[in-house]
Amino acid sequence: MQSREIIMRIAAGIAVAVVATGALAAGGGTLNDPQETYTSNWNAATNDGVIASVTVQFVSYELNSVAGKYKLIPVLLRAGTRSAPLSLALEQDRLVVSSGGNTIAASFQLSALDRTLWDSLSPDTKRRLTYPEHLSPNSAMMVYAFVPLGDLKGPIEGFEYTIKSLPAPLLLQPERKKKAAALAGDTSV
Amino acid sequence: MIGELWRVLLDYLKRTPYWPVLEPLLLVGFLYIGVCIVSYQYLQWRYQVTLDLPLFLQSYLLRQVSVGFAAVVGVFIALTAGRAAKAQAQPPAPGAAAAVQGTPPVGRGRRLGSDWVGRIGLVLLIGAMALYLLQVWTPEFKVSPIRVRFAAFGTFAAAAPHADQDRGLAKATADYQRLREITQYLLFEINHRQRAWQLEFETSPFRSDLVSRADEDRCTEDDTPPLCIAEAFHTAMIKAHGAHPPFVLITAEPLGGGGTRAWFWLNRGPVSVVTTSDWGGPGSAGSIEYLAYALVVQSVMIHMQAHCGLAQPPTGAPEGVVVGNVFDLQPGIDAMRAAVLTGHFSRDDERRLLNCFGPEYMRTAVSLSGLDWLRSASVRDTLRKVYAVELLGS
C-alpha cells in the first residue's frame, strides 16, 4: 500500500516536470540580439571551398567603435578540403564594404591607418589583429578589418573580399535574405 | 703480471721506515681513484654518455667528486686527528695519574668540551666550503625554452617587388609557407626526441609593426634591421609581460650588415635572426636541413650566453680558417652546406656544454646538431610522404 503511494507520487512529479518543461519551451518571442550574417557560402564552389562570413550584431555594431574612429569587422575565414594552404597577402588582399549605396575600403592593417592607436595596444591584441599569411586546409580563423567610421553612412549591405590567390572575389551577402529567397522559391514550386 | 708487480712493490714499501706515512696516503689515493671510476660509470649509466678521458678530467663531475671526497677525508681527519696520540698516552705514569686524578673533573670536562667544539667547528667549515664549491660547479640543468617565429614574407624587403617579379614572388611565398609548416613539424620532432630544452612555435607571423613606430624608425636606420627589430620586440614583450622566452626569428630577406654583410644568422643575447636568403631561398635544396641546423645552433648559442658567462656569442675557429665546428664563421654557402651536412661541436665546446649544462644537454646538443634525427628513417618518410620533401643526399 505504502509502495503504491510512493509510485504515485513519483509519477505525479514526473508529470509536473514534463508539463513545466513544455510550458517553458513553448515561450514565444526572439532573443533581443538582432544580428545578420553575411556569407559567401553561396559561391564557395567557385572559390576552391573558401568561405568568408561576417556576423554583425546590430546593437554592439551601432554603439561600439575602435577609439571612436573605426568600425571593427571580424571576418571568419574557412578553408575546406584543398590541396594546399590558402595564401593570404596583406598588401594585395582587399575588403570592401557596401554601405548606404557606397563602397568603402577596409584595411587589415590598423598600424597603417593609425599608428599611434596601434602602438597603444597590448602585444597580445596586436598579435591577434595581425593579418595571417596562410590558412591551412580544413581550418578556420578570424581576420580583422577596420573601416573608417566617417565613411559608413548607412546600413551594411554586403562585403567583397578579394584574396589575391583565389580566382574570384568572395561576395558576402546577407544569409537571411538568401534564406527568404530560397523559401519563396520553394513555395512557388 | 701487474698484480704480481704491485705485490712486490707493496712488500718493498712495507719494509721501508716510511710505511706508516705512506700507508694512509696510498689508502686515500686508492679510495679516490675508486670513487672517480664509480662516478664515471654512473655518468654512462645515468645519461648514456661515454666521455673520453681528457673530457672527463676537465668535467664538472670530476671537480665535484674531488671536492666531495676531500671534504669527507677532511671531516674524518678533523674528527680523529690527535685522538690516537692521546689514546697512546694512556695509561699515564703513576705520578701523572695521581696528578690527573688530583685535577678537578670539571676542568677535564671543559677541556674535552672545547676540544669537541673546535672539531665540530672545523667540520662545519669544511662542509660549508664543500657545499659552496659544489654549488658553484653544478651545471644549469634547467634552461629556458626557445620561441621560434617566422617573419611575414617581405617584412624586411628593401623595396616593393615589380609587377614582372610577381610570379616568382608567388612561388617564393608558397615555398616559404611550406617551409614554415615543415619547421613546425621539425620542432615537434626535436621536442619529442629530447628533454634538455623545448622549442616553442609561434603561429602568427611576425611583422615589423609589432614594435612601436619609434623603434621601427630607429631600426630602419640600423645596420642590421631584422636583428634590431627582433630585439626591440623582445624588449617590449618583457616590458609588457615581465618575461618572454628567448626567441629566434626566421626571415626570407637578407640580414643587412652594410659593407661587412651579415650571413645566414645573427645573434645578440637572447635574440637570434636566421635568414633563408643566404641559403638560396626557402625553396632551394637543403633548406630544411639548414633551418633545422640553424635552430639547434641558435638555441645552444642563446643558452650558452645566458648560463656560461659569455658576453657575446661563442666563436669557433678564427675568420678564414674553418673546420666545420658549429660556431665557426662559415664563409659562403659552400662552407655552410658542408657544416650542415657534418654538424659537430669542437672539443672545447663540448667541454663548455658539459660543464655549463650537464651531460644530458651536451649529449642532446651534439646529437641534434649532427642532424641524425632528421635523417632517421621515420622522419625522412614523414617528410617524403606528408610534405613531399627529399633531404640532401637522400
One-letter-per-residue 3-state SS of chain A: CHHHHHHHHHHHHHHHHHHHHHHHHCCCCCCCCCEEEEECHHHHHHHCCEEEEEEEEHHHHHHCCECCCEEEEEEEEEECCCCCCEECCCCCCEEEEEECCEEEEEECCHHHHCHHHHHHCCHHHHHHHCCCCEECCCEEEEEEEEEEHHHCCCCEEEEEEECCCCCCCEEEEEHHHHHHHHHHHHHHC
Compare CB distances from B204 to A115, A122, A130 and report the shortest one's residue. Answer: A130
Per-residue pLDDT, A163: 94
CB contact under 8 A, A132 and B170: no
ipTM over 0.85 threshold:
no
First to last CA, chain A: 63
User: Residue B241 pLDDT > 50, yes or no?
Assistant: yes
Instruction: Judge if B64 and B152 occupy the same domain.
Output: no
Instruction: Judge if B107 and B210 occupy the same domain.
Output: no
CB contact under 8 A, A85 and B212: no
B280 at interface of A, judged by CB pairs closer than 8 A: no
A174 or B83, higher pLDDT: A174
Give the pLDDT mean for A65-75: 94
CA distance A137 to chain B (A): 12
Is the CATH number of domain A35-188 3.30.360?
Answer: no
What radius of gyration do chain B's Cα atoms show?
Answer: 31
Contacts of A89 in chain B (CB under 8 A): 173
Mutate to test the interface with A, among B150, B169, B171, B173 (most CBs of A within 10 A): B173
- B393 within some domain: no
User: Residue B300 pLDDT > 70, yes or no?
Assistant: yes
Contacts of A126 in chain B (CB under 8 A): 209-210
Computed over every residue of chain B, the mean pLDDT equals 86
Residue B343: how many other CB atoms lie within 10 Å: 21
Give the pLDDT mean for A86-94: 92
Structural domains of chain B, count: 2
Q: How far, in Å, are B133, B201, B210 from residue B311 at the CA level?
A: 23, 27, 28
Buried b (16+ CB within 10 A) or exposed e, B108-138: eeeeeeeeeeebeebbeebeeebeebbeebe
- B392 within some domain: no
Q: Which three cell numbers stand for residue B22?
A: 705512506
Whether residue A123 is preceded by a cis peptide bond, meaning omega within 30 degrees of 0, is no
Q: Which three cell numbers stand for residue B8?
A: 712486490
CB contact under 8 A, A133 and B236: no
Residue B86 to residue B90: CA distance in whole angstroms: 7
Nearest chain A Cα to B236, which residue?
A123
Per-residue pLDDT, A2: 61
- B118 within some domain: yes
Instruction: Judge if B225 and B119 occupy the same domain.
Output: no
Strongest mean pLDDT among A36-50, B38-52, B269-283, B301-315: B269-283
Residue B371: how many other CB atoms lie within 10 Å: 21
Of A23, A57, A16, the C-alpha closest to A38 is: A57
Of B128, B195, B113, the C-alpha closest to B368 is: B195
Q: What is the maximum alpha-carbon separation in chain A? A: 83
Residue B304 to residue B78: CA distance in whole angstroms: 40
What radius of gyration do chain A's Cα atoms show?
Answer: 24
Of B316, B270, B312, the C-alpha closest to B143 is: B270
Residue B316 to residue B329: CA distance in whole angstroms: 7
- B22 within some domain: yes
List, edge to edge, every strand of the sheet that includes A139-148.
A102-106, A94-99, A156-162, A170-174, A35-39, A50-57, A70-79, A139-148
Per-residue pLDDT, B130: 94
Q: Which three cell numbers stand for residue B227?
A: 636583428
What domain range includes position B129? Answer: 2-137
- CATH number of the domain that B251 lies in? 3.40.390
Residue A105 to residue A147: CA distance in whole angstroms: 7
Contacts of B213 in chain A (CB under 8 A): 115-116, 119
- B394 within some domain: no
- B216 within some domain: yes
**How many A/B residue pairs have CB atoms within 8 Å?**
48
- Are B295 and B248 a contacting pair, CB within 8 Å? yes
Instruction: Judge if B182 and B329 occupy the same domain.
Output: yes
Residue A51, CB half-sphere, CA atoms under 13 Å: how many? Answer: 19
Per-residue pLDDT, B212: 94
Q: How far, in Å, are A37, B172, B305, B319 from residue B267 at the CA level?
A: 48, 25, 10, 17
Give residue B366's pLDDT band: very low, low, confident or very high (50, 70, 90): very high
Q: How far, in Å, are B59, B300, B358, B361, B362 from residue B353 at the CA level?
A: 10, 9, 7, 7, 5
B152 at interface of A, judged by CB pairs closer than 8 A: yes
Contacts of B236 in chain A (CB under 8 A): 123
Lowest mean pLDDT among A64-78, B210-224, B252-266, B357-371: B252-266
B239 at interface of A, judged by CB pairs closer than 8 A: no
- B310 within some domain: yes
Would you list the domain boundaries of chain A? 35-188
CA distance B267 to chain A (A): 23
Per-residue pLDDT, A179: 62
Contacts of A84 in chain B (CB under 8 A): 174
Give the pLDDT mean for B246-271: 88
Per-residue pLDDT, B38: 93
Residue B357 to residue B120: CA distance in whole angstroms: 35
Nearest chain A Cα to B209, which residue?
A111
Q: Which three cell numbers stand for residue B159?
A: 623595396
Residue B83: how many other CB atoms lie within 10 Å: 11
